[in-house]
């Protein structure tokens, strides 16, 4: 049974993050409610976790994890390990690299890590582009 839910997650996010990060987190939660096939809430004691999952031909796949302490974990390497079509992975990494000006290839991003949203998102347009990219990945995984 999940310890966290949307309300407790948002309260903790607001208490443990800056106002800007909390707003970004809330936008991601609203987006997730609309586009995720499944949202799971964590059971941890220190912070809450939201996992965005989508149904595909490869099963139910987590696309990202969001924590109530203002971090996000993009499941790029996990998705690579599932044998997804190369064009889906390529589209994902190219858009992430363009949005965050960071390398997400296997050499420079060998492990999926939790990254501070405060360091990733500097402008509202980056949040918009990130959400559009996730929407596109979900769409491509359902084709």
Q: Please, what are the averages of pLDDT over each run of 10 residues along the chain (143 residues)?
A: 88 96 97 97 93 94 97 95 89 92 88 94 94 93 83
Asked if residue 67 is part of any domain, the answer here is: yes
Residues 6 or more apart from 69 whose CB is under 8 A from it?
Answer: 12, 13, 16, 17, 46, 47
End-to-end CA distance of the chain: 32
**Which residues are bridge partners to 40 per DSSP?**
51
pLDDT value of residue 107: 87
Asked if residue 1 is part of any domain, the answer here is: no
Angle between helices 86-100 and 124-141 (to 10 degrees): 180
Domain membership of residue 83 as a residue range: 6-141
pLDDT value of residue 72: 97
For residues 135 and 62, give the distance between their C-alpha atoms in angstroms, rounded to a whole number: 13
- Put simply, whether the predicted model's pTM sits higher than 0.85 gets the answer yes
Split into its structural domains, the chain has a count of 1
pLDDT value of residue 1: 53
């Amino acid at each position: 049974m999940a310890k966290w839910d949307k309300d407790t997650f948002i309260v903790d996010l607001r208490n443990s993050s800056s106002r800007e990060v909390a707003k970004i987190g809330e936008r991601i939660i609203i987006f997730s409610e609309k586009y995720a096939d499944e949202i799971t809430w964590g059971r941890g004691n220190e912070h809450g976790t939201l996992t965005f999952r989508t149904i595909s031909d490869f099963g139910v796949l987590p696309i990202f994890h969001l924590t109530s302490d203002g971090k996000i974990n993009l499941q790029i390497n996990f998705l690579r390990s599932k044998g997804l079509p190369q064009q889906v992975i390529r589209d994902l990494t190219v858009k992430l690299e363009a949005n965050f000006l960071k390398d997400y290839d296997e050499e420079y991003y060998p492990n999926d890590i939790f990254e501070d949203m405060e360091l990733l998102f500097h402008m509202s347009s980056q949040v918009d582009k990130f959400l559009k990219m996730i929407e596109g990945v979900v769409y491509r995984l359902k084709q």
